[in-house]
Amino acid sequence: MERVERISLVDQSGTLWTASAHISLVMVGHVLSVAWDISRLGWIAGPAAMCLISCTCYYTSRLLCDCYRTGDSVTGKRNHTYTDSVRSILGMEFHYCVVASHFFDSRTLIKLPINFCIQMYSKKSRVTFNYVIIGTLHSQNISIFRVIFSGGVNAKACAFIQYLILFGTAIEITVGASWSMMAIIYTNCFHKNEEENSCFILGNPYMIIFGVAEILLSQIPDIDQMWWVSMVSVVMFFIYSLIGLGLAIARVAARGSFESNGSVTETLNIWMSFEALGEIALAYSSSEILIEIQDTIRSPPSEAETMKKATFLSTVVLTTLFMLWGCVGYAALGDDTPYNIVTDFAFYRPPWLLGIANAAVFINNVGAYQIYSQPIFAFVEKQAAHRWPKFIAREREIPLPGLSPYKMNLFRLVWRTLVVILITVISMAFPLFNEVVKIITLGFWPLAVYFPVEMYIKQKKIDRWETKWVCLQMLSMACLAISIMATMGLIAGLKDSLKHNQPFKMIY
């Protein structure tokens, strides 16, 4: 038997600022491509799409914040992961069930009052069942239960999409981090030889260096203990953002703004516009780990209230930076704006400033990798703890000079190291894996819009065809249309990128 509310594995002592840092770290990874997005959509459609999508994602994030607890937002049952929220709120219910009392401990049943809710974790099916006793037939040794089966297709689909996106994003971050290191080496080589095509840098060694750094940081036990990593990473984001913005302003001041040169065909520009729309939507989507971040927040005030403030603060600050970065970058570089202004050699001088910007990108990616990989680590370790609790709990103390001993968990060391190695190998063999993940999962729609809307409707008991229900469904369908368009653009772009993809031969 389990208690109705399971204790969270993380330390719930987070604040508005730690939550804002975590959310910002999830969103800042796409800032480097915002100028490219604006260049594809244009001066009017680009900023308009950014404002509209930011408001939409902020609204659906607020809906998701209310789903952290089942029932009342203050006293309801906690859901420690996104999948737990979907399982708890969108689970199926069976109201008529007769179960032989020998299925449980009969002494336990005698002590339980009628309508008392208990839980049992089934090791065979690996789901949690909620039972409410509504009567007992003592003469026939049979008990009648109202059974709530908290499994179902929704929870499985959510888990598959969430962890696939997290895994794919970790691969994208590995590629991006190694690209920034390669850009530093290339910048030095270029200014030494003064020839653009005289330097060729292979990415494999830099991916391995990044993987080693992540193996060390992956030993941070839980997401609540990596607040300082998020803080440092966000500071690095502001550093390279301001450098890129300053270089773009200097370019505009020296040469004026670029006009459209028509270098892209109309058909290709349509696909790129669809892809840019999806990139903007992904930039504002933090839903894949929003519940996990909310689980680190202390209360009172309620976790939902603090999380909504953190989401609003992050959205406003980052939208301002996104708008500046995108518009000024497009004005400076025109239709030839590269996908990544900092690492794709959009600016050539000064080399030392470009080196600082790329180093800041690398450090930012180190923290972003952890915020995405921690839920994957926690998911497997939670399942393993149910099956082999004694083995998982084994720890060894490692003495540290001048500090308290570090408690090393053997399972955590081996398991997390293997995951980082797997991600690194896939990144070297197939750096476009994240594009495939976006195609499979239809981008941001399922986790950022569909599940929050459906859970909110179920939680608030909104009847079908009510005005609010119709508006929420229209919002969901509109976002689905954007995801489909973005997926079509990704397919067109991926087809061309695969022609140049060579396993283990990513060259700058």
Q: What is the DSSP string of 242-300?
A: HHHHHHHHHHHHHH-PPPP---S-HHHHHHHHHHHHHHHHHHT--GGGHHHHHTTB--S
Residues 6+ apart with CB under 8 A from 224: 10, 11, 12, 13, 14, 296
Instruction: Write the DSSP assignment of 355-372 as a string of letters.
Output: HHHHHHHHHHHHHHHHHH
Sole residue written with tokens 């031969």? 505
Instruction: Give the domain ranges of the chain.
Output: 92-149, 154-271+324-497
Rounded to 10°, the helix 45-65/467-497 angle is 120
The three-class DSSP label of residue 349 is: coil
The three-class DSSP label of residue 117 is: strand
End-to-end alpha-carbon separation of the chain, Å? Answer: 56
Amino acid at 363: I
Amino acid at 438: K
Residues 6+ apart with CB under 8 A from 58: 284, 311, 312, 315
pLDDT, tens digit only, all 508 positions of the chain = 233 334 444 556 778 888 888 888 888 777 778 888 888 888 888 899 999 999 999 999 999 988 888 876 666 778 888 888 888 888 754 443 444 444 444 444 433 333 334 444 343 344 444 444 444 444 444 444 444 444 567 888 888 999 999 998 899 899 888 888 888 888 777 777 766 566 778 888 899 999 999 998 888 888 878 888 888 988 998 888 888 888 888 888 877 655 554 445 566 678 888 888 888 888 888 888 898 888 888 877 888 888 999 999 999 998 998 888 888 888 888 777 777 777 766 667 787 888 888 899 999 999 889 999 988 988 888 877 777 776 666 667 666 666 666 667 788 888 899 999 999 999 988 888 778 888 877 778 899 999 999 999 988 888 888 899 999 999 999 999 988 888 888 887 777 777 767 777 777 6
Give pLDDT tens digits for 151-199.
Answer: 567 888 888 999 999 998 899 899 888 888 888 888 777 777 766 566 7
Contact assessment for residue 37 and residue 247, using Cβ atoms and an 8 Å cutoff: no
- Structure tokens that stand for 369 in this block: 């990798």
pLDDT of residue 97: 44
Strand intervals (E) in 274-431 = 395-400, 403-409
Q: Are strands 403-409 and 77-78 parallel, antiparallel or unpaired?
A: unpaired
Amino acid at 393: A
Cis amide linkage into residue 405, ω under 30° from 0: no
Rounded to the nearest 5 degrees, what angle is found at the Cα of 238, between the Cα atoms of 236 and 239?
60
Q: Which residues face 487 on adjacent strands?
A: none
pLDDT of residue 123: 39
pLDDT of residue 420: 93
405: left (phi over 0), alpha (psi -120 to 50) or beta: beta
Sole residue written with tokens 């489909």? 484
- Structure tokens that stand for 361 in this block: 């990108």
User: Residue 248 and residue 254: Cα distance in Å, rounded?
Assistant: 10
User: Residue 97 and residue 103: Cα distance in Å, rounded?
Assistant: 13
Give pLDDT tens digits for 90-123.
Answer: 875 444 344 444 444 444 443 333 333 444 434 3
pLDDT of residue 93: 47
User: Residue 21 and residue 41: Cα distance in Å, rounded?
Assistant: 29
